[in-house]
Amino acid sequence: MKILIIGGGGHARVVADILRAMDGMEPLGFITSDLDPGEVGPMGLPVLGSDAAVGSIPHDGLVVAVGDNRIRERLFTDFAAQGETLVNAIHPSAVIAPDVVMGRGCMVCAGAIVNTGTVIGDNVILNTGSVTDHDCQIQDHVHVAPGAKLAGGVRIGSGVLVGLGAAVLPGVVMGDRAVAGAGAVVLGDVVPGLTVVGVPARPKT
């Protein structure tokens, strides 16, 4: 499959690396307004233009490779509405149980582990070395950062950020748009939109 990468920053470079490691995936280049069309972008791939150029470039699918959850959600929603095929970029070194259910446009990075019974929505990032244990539910547009760990039965609402190295204990529910700061240990439920930090995690002041 010939794949366009939406974005030109760090996540886009990682997606390019993942696609190159996957069988049957060929990254065509980057769609971004941050770099000049025609120049050589990250990973030696070309910059193909801005979002408006997508329709004029022959391709089989695309990945929205943007770390910011809100921006990634907007782009994903726009391209899905245009009928684009949103593909998953899954590094070959990721360990994913065979019964895991995963939506469209997800990014699963090197060394990530996803255990049995887990359900993952659309446009989710499971970043490098993250662990998602059994029977978790992760809704759309979530980012589980590098080294973060979700214990069994955790429920993660839409647009949540689980920060670098954070840990979420068994059965905890994080409401939509909640944030667990880097290194936080989340012992109890987090209401929608709340940012918690520290060990144990408490509301950010």
Q: Count of domains in the chain?
A: 2
- Domain, as residue range, for 155: 89-196
CATH number, domain with residue 112: 2.160.10.10
The encoded tokens of residue 49 equal 């233009």
Q: How far is CA 13 from CA 32, 67, 109, in A?
A: 12, 11, 12
pLDDT at 1: 95
Q: Which of 87, 121, 151 is the last residue of a domain?
A: 87
Q: How far is CA 84 from CA 46, 71, 104, 136, 169, in A?
A: 21, 17, 11, 28, 37
What sign results for the dihedral spanned by CA atoms 25, 29, 75, 145?
Answer: positive
Q: What is the pTM of this model?
A: 0.95
Q: Are residues 94 and 73 in the same domain?
A: no
pLDDT at 165: 98
- The length of the chain is 205
Q: Is residue 204 part of a domain?
A: no
Q: Is residue 179 part of a domain?
A: yes
pLDDT at 149: 98
Q: Which of 40, 60, 87 is the last residue of a domain?
A: 87
Query: Mean pLDDT for each 10-residue chunk of the chain (205 residues)?
Result: 94 96 96 79 86 93 97 97 97 98 98 98 98 98 98 98 98 98 98 98 93
Q: Are residues 99 and 36 in the same domain?
A: no
pLDDT at 103: 98
Q: Are residues 148 and 99 in the same domain?
A: yes
SS3 assignment, position 36: coil
pLDDT at 82: 95
Q: Are residues 54 and 93 in the same domain?
A: no
pLDDT at 148: 98
pLDDT at 38: 72
Q: Are residues 104 and 52 in the same domain?
A: no
Q: Are residues 82 and 12 in the same domain?
A: yes
Residue 36 burial (CB < 10 Å; 0-12/13-18/19+)? exposed
